[in-house]
Structure 1
């Protein structure tokens, strides 16, 4: 692994076994065989996250599609692609990441391929099982799971709550929400006491139930919070409704966010869901610079190893060249510059070894930093 991660960042072109053998020190068969060996990705990345991120964390969960051709690859099929807006043929994996809510930075934890369903198991139940099977390691980081609106369904919610997690998500705009009745109890009446006080219209909120919890500096949106009943969940939840305003201050759209923990502040609910998007940056850098979709293997073990190597390499680069600096000194993180630097380092070391030059002589040390910066976008 000490050899693989720097090599992965230095490789130019496709990240497959053939190209690794061209740039690396071993033959193609050696890389193939080692990719079939198990590695504790979750334990390794959880340790990295606990060392590099702060104390206020959330677990981001989001499936990701990667294209893949062939007929005999494990788990290949048709999956929804958010970029294409439709189902495409390829592979899907469920990405789990730790998100620092203070720094708004995410580090990869583990990628699990969508494959190996139990008999009669639905896709939603499979996603929930991925998190529940890893609860021991995940709960040490955070009990809050941030997921998009697809996961705002009762079976997924109930499963996570039963294992000790709390869910932060977004609800459909037509979700049926009900005010909780806070008035006096009526005596001498038969039947169950009054529990709810009418359905919520997201565009006309009652001031005796909803309070303002956050707003944009430019006045483009205002957020209101309240504890209400989510009928589809059959439970109460902390709900945040965000009104997006036009130039005249009129409501043009509304979005609904929810957290199963009713004690959580509405501004924190909104912030945690917004930070969920940081996992998308891991996917972007993994696809553009770390060969996330380049795997040429077909076995589930090698696919699992490749997906996690690509995303872990992105996390290691971010930890080394972004999170290691004090927050006030950080510049924009560029995965392209990190790859350029590692490629330059690899070439310089090859030149030194080929010509038999001492790597520690003063002339080499004086030009090393200039050589590493060749081709960088922000040198």
Structure 2
């Protein structure tokens, strides 16, 4: 928490009351064992903030992008990629800002509620994601939804480019209206294609002399039966064969590096695409696999930091709630897990961290009321023992 407080104090874009409030609320937010709303925060505030004060603080938009810059700047020295993923948030209420019908991946249908577009930075070595910013999707944006997603990335492009030139997204974003703006901003996109993707082989043979357009293509790629004489096999295990090739993508109207995964069991296959034609097939597989870290980040925020529990209806309060939930998980990853030397052997567990902070709150409250001081060695041992009750691995 000292690290978090120091980074908050370095953010010039926050006012003094906001710095004080954020320094206080992060620990309460992580610890809170009940629903994350203003009344429950007041119940655990120990008289430091009233419910009205908490509401007033949430009504003013906080600069979480600047907090990200202050806290995660050290990752510029590491290999990173950006990831983007929309997430459905169930919400009732007729007056809620942004209420509409959005796609729910869990239910595989459109449902009434809210949606946030979560932009994150993924540390390749540690294989974990940290939230940059979550922006709510306004309701009823069917015709301009892709423009909204592009706008989220455009507003953070300088921040993203300071870390990486690569963006990983799922197959929904395999559209020209999304990928072209990313390329204009200097980002290379890694995504998944349809199994029946429309691809053409590039012609590399001798050209006819004389007038006329030169031959560019050597036939359509049969996605169910690829020509293995053209494709390069770069990986094989008990389950898949992985091939790579630079082809012409008809959808994007440009050359692209494509990875074709042939499943040994059955007739299925999976196709990945990178707009960087010089990228290796192994990197494409690795980067797309790391895209799922943003989904784990959202999952932890939903389960442990109340991402789906906001009872406010105004735009600023919703923005602050969503970003506080995601940033809490991100900062706990950075401070409690990413700095460990043996982190590959110790999985990140947000539940253990949440349990530890709740134990700390209860222990300090009881010890304070009993007048017990930590100067005594017996009390110190008892205090340490209480903190680790109920901790577990992920």
Match of 2:19 in 1: none
> How many Å separate the matches in 1 of 2:76 and 2:263?
32
Task: Tell me the CA shift for residue 346 of structure 1.
Answer: 0.8
> How many Å separate the matches in 2 of 1:155 and 1:209?
30
Match of 1:134 in 2: 156
Pair 327,51 (structure 1): closer, same or farther in 2 beyond 3 Å = farther
RMSD value over aligned CA atoms? Answer: 2.0
The alignment status of 1:293 with 2:308, answered yes or no, reads yes
Q: Deviations over 1:195-245 (max 9, x none)?
A: 0100001232223431012233xx200111111110010111111111111
TM-score by length of 2: 0.90
Match of 1:87 in 2: 110
Which structure 1 segments of 5+ residues have no match? Answer: none
Listed as ranges, the matches of 1:1-379 within 5 Å are 1-24=22-45, 25-51=48-74, 55-115=78-138, 122-188=144-210, 190-216=211-237, 219-246=238-265, 252-327=267-342, 330-377=345-392
TM-score by length of 1: 0.93
Q: How many residues align?
A: 371
Task: Tell me the CA shift for residue 49 of structure 1.
Answer: 3.3
Q: Which stretch has the larger CA shift, 355-364 or 160-169? A: 355-364
Pair 266,106 (structure 1): closer, same or farther in 2 beyond 3 Å = same
What SS does the aligned partner of 1:14 have?
A: coil
> How many Å separate the matches in 1 of 2:118 and 2:235?
30
> How many Å separate the matches in 2 of 1:340 and 1:376?
6
Q: Deviations over 1:29-48 (max 9, x none)?
A: 11111112232212322443
Pair 264,313 (structure 1): closer, same or farther in 2 beyond 3 Å = same
> How many Å separate the matches in 2 of 1:356 and 1:45?
39
Match of 2:5 in 1: none
> How many Å separate the matches in 1 of 2:274 and 2:178?
13
What SS does the aligned partner of 1:272 have?
A: helix
Which structure 2 segments of 5+ residues have no match? Answer: 1-21
> How many Å separate the matches in 2 of 1:318 and 1:378?
14
What SS does the aligned partner of 2:23 have?
A: coil
Pair 327,377 (structure 1): closer, same or farther in 2 beyond 3 Å = closer
